[in-house]
Structure formats: structure tokens, C-alpha cells
Amino acid sequence: MQLMNKIKEKLVAFDLDGTLIDSAKDFHSCLNILVKKHNINQISYEDVRERVSEGSYSLIRYAFDSHEKEQVEDLREELLNLYQENCLEKTTIFEGAEDLINFLNETQINWCIVTNKPRRFAEKIVNHFFPSLERDMLFCPDEFIEPKPSPKGPLLACHETKCKPSSSFFIGDHHIDILAGNKADMQTIAVDYGYRKKDDYIEDWGANYIVSDLKEIINLI
């Protein structure tokens, strides 16, 4: 009974892009379709990959070398429309994700996804790759307004699942994920294979744990 109570109090919350799924190739393809349309030089895969976790605004500002608000917003909407059509073309799940999710399901440990990706994209991708996730266990900025590094998303996930933050984990590939988890008083796990710039050192993020494979998390939780 005591073990079951501890399991019920525990939530494992994941970031999506760069943590569970590798979506960089689809973003790269869509961005280069867009820059070609506007007669801009093609963008390298490496430059896209290290900016994916920073979101579509970052990709547009970099590709078009622009900070003009209206132009960036218009181009961003073009990019997102392209991405919505092509978000499952080259995206894959990271090694270890399936094993970890199966473990959580078999042991009846609560799990969810807290992403800065709008629901119209996230839901399509999650339904494809993680059909066992209940719809109300996908938390997007559409609902909690403030994106990570705000702790509102992780805290909302804990509240909805009636799980204690101190007994729960937040897993991500970017320093904003770890910051959000730490602010929510959750235990944080950084994955070192995700999207970050070369001079962004994962050891400086303040995560409780760093892993190279999602299967390693089974022994931590």
C-alpha cells in the first residue's frame, strides 16, 4: 500500500522536442522551403538543430536576420503552416523513449508531456508517436499561457495529476526545461543528446541528473 501511494504521488514530466522526439529535420526542411521562396540563402541543418528548442521565432530571426516584429510574425506563420503539413515527414523518437514509456505504463507511474509547442502541432505528433498518452496529459502553452522557463506548466501537470512536485521529475534537453523544473521544486533530469548551442554547457544548468539515454532514467525514478 505504501509503495502504491508513492507511485500515485510521482509524476514523470517530459519536454517534447529534443527530449522525446527528434524534430529538427522537419524544421530544417520547412525553413529551407521558406527561405527559398523569399530568395534567402539556405540554412544548415546544424544551425537549425541548435535553435529548435528556442522556438520558431528564433529560427525566423536567424534565417532572415530580422528583428522587425511584423515581418518576423508573418514569416513565422508561414513557417508554422509549412510545419503543420510536414511535421511527421522526418521526425523520429529518440532511442530509449519507447522502453521508458513502456516501463512507466507497466508500473502505472504517472507521466505527461509539458511542451512549449502549440497544441495544434504537439497533439498531432504525440498521437502518432505516443498513442498511450491520455489527451489531458499533454500540456501546451495554449493552456498555461506562460511557456517554459516559467514553472506554470510543470506545476499545472502536478496539480492535475495530484502528484507532489518534490516526488516528481522533469526531463528536458534545454536549460529552460531544467529551470522550469527547478522552479517547480521537481527533480530535474537533463538529456545530453538534444538541441543546444555548442557553448551552452549542460553541466551549468543545475539539473539533479544528466543522462545520455532515456533508458537510464528507469533506475533514477
| Positions marked active-site | 15, 17
Helices (H) and strands (E) in the chain, counts: 10, 8
Helix/strand/coil for 142: helix
Identify residue 213 by its one-letter amino acid code.
D
Chain-centroid distance, C-alpha 129: 14
For the chain, list the strands marked E by DSSP.
11-14, 21-22, 92-93, 110-114, 138-139, 169-172, 187-191, 209-211
Residue written as cell 505527461? 112
What cell does 200 get?
551552452
What cell does 64 get?
532572415
For 87-148, list the strands marked E by DSSP.
92-93, 110-114, 138-139
